[in-house]
Amino acid sequence: MSGKVVRGVPPHAGSTAYINARIVDPTANREYAGSVLISDGKIADFGPSLFTSGAPYGIESVDCRGLYLAPGIVDTRVHTGEPGEEHKETLESAGVAAAAGGITSMVLLPDNEPPFDDASLIEFVARRARQIKLANMYAYGALTVGLEGKELAEMGLLAEAGAVGFTDADHAVGNAQVMRRALYYAKAFDALIVHLPQEPTLSGGHMSSGVMATRLGLSGNPPLAEVMMVERDIRLVEMTGGRLHLAKISTAESVKVIAAAKARGLPITCDTAAPYFALNDLAVGDYRTFGKLVPPLRSEADREAIVEGLQSGVIDAIVSDHRPQDQDSKRVPFAQAEPGGIGLETLLPVSLELVHNRHLGLPQLFQRLSSAPARLFNLPGGRLAKGAPADLVLFDANYAWKIDRADLWSKTKNSPFDERPVQGKAMLTIAGGRPIYRDDEFSSTAAAA
């Protein structure tokens, strides 16, 4: 924990200029040397010709010293333990971890205890976010009552309370009739249905089917379990015209099928999580429970296909899939361990591997980390525009470090990337014009003019 999280600091009363930055503008698909002016919590101006000779007298100035300045990350798949399992993660501890990771907005999954199938719980998240004053927090509404996949939740009431989409989190809806009704109903108020495509009767295994599962003697979850559900959901979208977002795509076949559906003009989008383009099933080769995820880590061929899907734009967004689990859930035999890994603080450096390996440019990466997820969920951040919220991340793309779970801010430490060498680190995170995190390596560069 080599930085400082700043809680509840109001935005500067005047204006603040972030000068001498390397601007990453995903909307314009550009990268250039320039500055950003923030006033009253919003972006007042930005560009390559702004403050080329320094900020005018009276404007607070922060010299970015050539570091990259981009829209803050919008992470649309975050689980916390509050309410119900606060010993795993609270909204506040998740907000702290998000700030340290350069995340300025996050959408919280509804699979808490109780699940978010009641409007009061959506309002609870909004109220707690205002109290915590760190990253912006939004919430999904449950797609079905109790996340049981049987009876639709009151999506209209949940939407009125502020739900930005509807999902049963890691519970797949196996009943096609229920999903058909959900897509029809959501279409009436242009709501987005988010679904994890896993055929329930095939996906009960502990890791991906294949040579490694056989070698370890673990039951397999075949890649077919994903693409079968993808194909079913595509047919239901054709039938209903509803908007569908497929979550955590992990297989080559799914990428191929989604590409074909998009080519036909269907209203389908999708995301993947960092482990599926950065890890393969070898990561569980020593029964390492930190690598037990939903869906499971796939083969190297699948991992490469996910990278290609990100390159081509078939995969619209990247999420952390942050799911904290305590020691009692992970320090058990692999078959008994709970799935899930934390990811808020590692999302940026692991995603930057796509840039370092020349799969994506920085503007394209931040299209998938910021602008696309904000657009898909109709959130105000994720872009550089005059009048847009001043949600920004200043990062050093070449900062070399090794992920150590003991140094992470998250309440639990179950990172599938533990001990991984990475390049890239958030140095300053700004939400609504307020600095909410500053790394110790950057503290000396921030000064008033």
Residue 448 has pLDDT above 50, yes or no: no
Cα 239–chain centre separation: 29
Tens digit of pLDDT for each residue in 235-280? 999 999 999 999 999 999 999 999 999 999 999 999 999 999 999 9
Strand order in the sheet with 103-108: 73-78, 103-108, 136-139
Read off the pLDDT band of 14 (50, 70, 90): confident
The amino acid that residue 198 corresponds to is Q
Q: In the beta sheet, which residues pair with residue 220?
A: 207
Token pair belonging to 376: 């898909």
Read off the pLDDT band of 112 (50, 70, 90): very high
Classify burial at 253, counting beta carbons within 10 Å of its beta carbon; exposed 0-12, middle 13-18, buried 19 or more: middle
Q: What does the DSSP assignment read for 354-374?
A: HHHTTSS-HHHHHIIIIIHHH
**100 against 50, higher pLDDT:** 100
Classify burial at 92, counting beta carbons within 10 Å of its beta carbon; exposed 0-12, middle 13-18, buried 19 or more: buried
* pLDDT attached to residue 261: 98
* pLDDT attached to residue 446: 45
Residue 8 has pLDDT above 70, yes or no: no
Residue 153 has pLDDT above 80, yes or no: yes
**301 against 13, higher pLDDT:** 301
Lowest mean pLDDT among 129-143, 337-351, 431-445: 431-445
Mean pLDDT on 330-342: 96
Are the beta carbons of 341 and 3 closer than 8 angstroms? no
* pLDDT attached to residue 238: 97
- Report the number of secondary-structure helices (H) and strands (E) in the chain: 14, 20
Are the beta carbons of 348 and 424 closer than 8 angstroms? yes
The mean predicted confidence, pLDDT, of the chain is 94
* pLDDT attached to residue 445: 45
* pLDDT attached to residue 382: 96
Read off the pLDDT band of 7 (50, 70, 90): low
**For residues 230 and 256, what is the distance between their CA atoms, to the nearest angstrom?**
11
Single out the residue of 68, 71, 14 nearest to residue 41, CA to CA.
14
Residue 10 has pLDDT above 60, yes or no: no
CB atoms within 10 A of CB 332: 12
CB atoms within 10 A of CB 238: 12
Tens digit of pLDDT for each residue in 35-72? 999 999 999 999 998 877 667 777 889 999 999 999 99
**For residues 94 and 99, what is the distance between their CA atoms, to the nearest angstrom?**
9
**For residues 305 and 69, what is the distance between their CA atoms, to the nearest angstrom?**
29
* pLDDT attached to residue 3: 75
Single out the residue of 34, 35, 39, 33 nearest to residue 16, CA to CA.
39
Mean pLDDT on 173-199: 96
* pLDDT attached to residue 11: 53
Q: What are phi and psi of 436, to 5 degrees?
A: -110, -10
β-pairing, 15-25 vs 30-39, is antiparallel
Mean pLDDT on 405-424: 97
Q: What are phi and psi of 76, to 5 degrees?
A: -100, 20
Q: What does the DSSP assignment read for 156-222?
A: HHHHHHT---EE-TT-----HHHHHHHHHHHHTTTPEEEE----TTT--SSEESSHHHHHHT--EE-
* pLDDT attached to residue 42: 96
Are the beta carbons of 143 and 121 closer than 8 angstroms? no
pTM: 0.96
Please state, in angstroms and as integers, the Cα–Cα distance from residue 390 to each residue in 67, 77, 142, 234, 408, following that order.
17, 22, 30, 37, 26
Q: Which H or E run includes 72? A: none
Please state, in angstroms and as integers, the Cα–Cα distance from residue 51 to each residue in 22, 31, 384, 434, following that order.
13, 17, 17, 21
* pLDDT attached to residue 12: 52
Q: What are phi and psi of 446, to 5 degrees?
A: -90, 120
* pLDDT attached to residue 113: 94
* pLDDT attached to residue 44: 94
The amino acid that residue 315 corresponds to is I
Mean pLDDT on 94-112: 98
* pLDDT attached to residue 428: 97
Token pair belonging to 170: 């890691």
The residues annotated with a catalytic role in the active site are 321
| Omega prior to 114 cis, within 30 of 0 | yes
Are the beta carbons of 338 and 330 closer than 8 angstroms? yes
Residue 362 has pLDDT above 50, yes or no: yes
Contacts of 177 (CB under 8 A, 6+ apart): none
Cα 207–chain centre separation: 23
Number of residues assigned to the chain: 449
Residue 444 has pLDDT above 60, yes or no: no
